[in-house]
Structure 1
Amino acid sequence: MLDLDSHVHADPEKMLFPFRKALIGLGVFITLAGVALLLYFAYMTYQIFNEPGQVRIVQYVLELIQRPNPVIEGSLTVQTPQGPSDMDFSVKMSEEIKTIIFIFLGGIAFSICVGISTTVVNAGVSIIKGAMYKGDTVNK
């Protein structure tokens, strides 16, 4: 005869062991992925400061900065005594202003990427801590 009471009083540690093992593995994987992203961003920063010509995005930004194209172009219709008249206009920026703008936007993008990577690492660590939680104490 099957004894159902033995399952009711089974040790929860033994029942949860496979799930904990899987969660710890997932947490380690997520943490390592976040660390890999952070290392990649550190390497890209190193490349940008040491050999900017080798980084494709830096080459692209330099091409954009050196183009003499106007930033804004358009036409206005102005009322004159002779009737409506169209006037074309364009706004150009110096290379220095373009450089400052691209550095500012690049810094913001870089800090966003590092923040995301840090959050991924923290999520992995939290999953590991949650998997190791046993009642009132945490395994250290």
Structure 2
Amino acid sequence: MSHRMKVWGLLPEFGRAQLKLTTAAKKGLGDPVLVELVVLRASQVNRCAFCIDMHVRNLREAGVSPRRIDLLPAWEEAGDLYSERERAALALTEAVTVLTDGHVPDAVYDRAAAHFTESELAHLIAVIVAINNWNRVNVTVRQPPGEEL
């Protein structure tokens, strides 16, 4: 597949706004590994090669074990490899990303709310929304992995 357009270069204000949105969303979570797991999982669901490549590299640089990175697509079956807090965040990530039923199920939301303060939960939702926006743009224009935005 070939790169369709350099949307981020064509719309620099949009790119700066997206970066500010992402930065603001991440500020209230405090756990950079949790954030990277969430954004990697959303990127996997959305099949965004550019973002998958970037967030796998970020997790490796943060010292996350290859096993935790490799098994992320099967996090529900991975036992104690992910904490309850991480699993709650990943379940919410998938529910917000897919929205196949047109809503986020109460059980998924309540599970996340049990592990995050209200402010943290708001930031988590914002991170999920922000990465989905990055994914949708990058998938649409076929942003190549490893290339500058």
State the TM bucket, normalised to the shorter chain: under 0.3
TM-score when normalising by structure 2:
0.25
Higher relative helix content? 2
Where relative contact order (Cα < 8 A, 6+ residues apart) is larger, the structure is 2
**Higher Rg:** 1
